[in-house]
Amino acid sequence: MREKLQGQVVIHLVVSTSGDVLSAEPVSGNPIFTQAAVAAMKQWKFQPYIKNGHPVQIGYKMPYDFAMADRVVDNPTAVANPALTNGKPTSSTPNGPPGPAPVQINGGVAQGLLLHQVAPVYPDIARQRMVQGTVVLKAIIGKDGRIKDLKPVSGPKDLYDSAIGAVQQWRYRPYTLNGEPVEVDTTINVNYKLTN
């Protein structure tokens, strides 16, 4: 919190037949967050997963978000945020085998699907250096509305981590094509502007 960091980690959980967490191992995300996520998840208790009428042990990749409460907005399309424009997808949550290529949509369409937004924190070092501008992120949004992949395309490098850490936690209403949810490929612009 002192460093104003935000982001998402993915933890691989193994859950026993009784619903206890047997192991929690980091898969991806900022190492600063993984220890806290693992410690929390090891205390979780699940209802047993039932297969063919019997409880079975399962493995699952669980995303875990770290965001400052005052930076989270649900149903953000109705909220004007001076730090953001055009917002959209981000993240690196692994999701099974490759399927069909994502459908390309523009940032405006993706913005209309946005349900949950975490605003970035302007990094102190960037403020001190008077760095401002727009970070453009290329994003893949999964069928479930979560960010599957997020990569910076352009913008001030000092702002990349801040933009990615916020955007990878955004959630969308699934985009449908012919009545079925599909993965989408879009861009997200995150604007940083110094004010007096």
What six digits make up the tokens of 61?
Answer: 């990749």
Residue-level pLDDT at 78: 40
Flag the least confident range among 8-22, 68-82, 103-117, 156-170: 68-82
Look at residue 176 and tell me whether its pLDDT is greater than 60.
Answer: yes
Residue-level pLDDT at 5: 84
> What distance in Å separates the CA atoms of residue 66 and residue 165, rounded to the nearest whole number?
9
> What distance in Å separates the CA atoms of residue 174 and residue 182, rounded to the nearest whole number?
7
| CATH 3.30.2420.10 is held by the domain 70-192 | yes
Please answer whether residues 121 and 4 qualify as being in contact, where contact means their C-beta atoms are separated by less than 8 angstroms: yes
Look at residue 80 and tell me whether its pLDDT is greater than 50.
Answer: no
> What distance in Å separates the CA atoms of residue 191 and residue 196, rounded to the nearest whole number?
16
pTM: 0.69
Instruction: Look at 93 and 37; give whichever has higher pLDDT.
Output: 37
> What distance in Å separates the CA atoms of residue 151 and residue 90, rounded to the nearest whole number?
7
All CATH 3.30.2420.10 domain ranges of the chain, comma separated, are 70-192
Predicted confidence band at 97 (pLDDT cuts at 50, 70, 90)?
low
Look at residue 88 and tell me whether its pLDDT is greater than 50.
Answer: no
Which secondary structure element, helix H or strand E, spans residue 9, and what is its range? strand 7-15
Share above pLDDT 90 across residues of the chain, in percent, rounded to a whole number:
55
Look at residue 79 and tell me whether its pLDDT is greater than 60.
Answer: no
> What distance in Å separates the CA atoms of residue 76 and residue 175, rounded to the nearest whole number?
17
Judged by DSSP in three states, 97 sits in coil
> What distance in Å separates the CA atoms of residue 33 and residue 147, rounded to the nearest whole number?
18
> What distance in Å separates the CA atoms of residue 164 and residue 166, rounded to the nearest whole number?
5
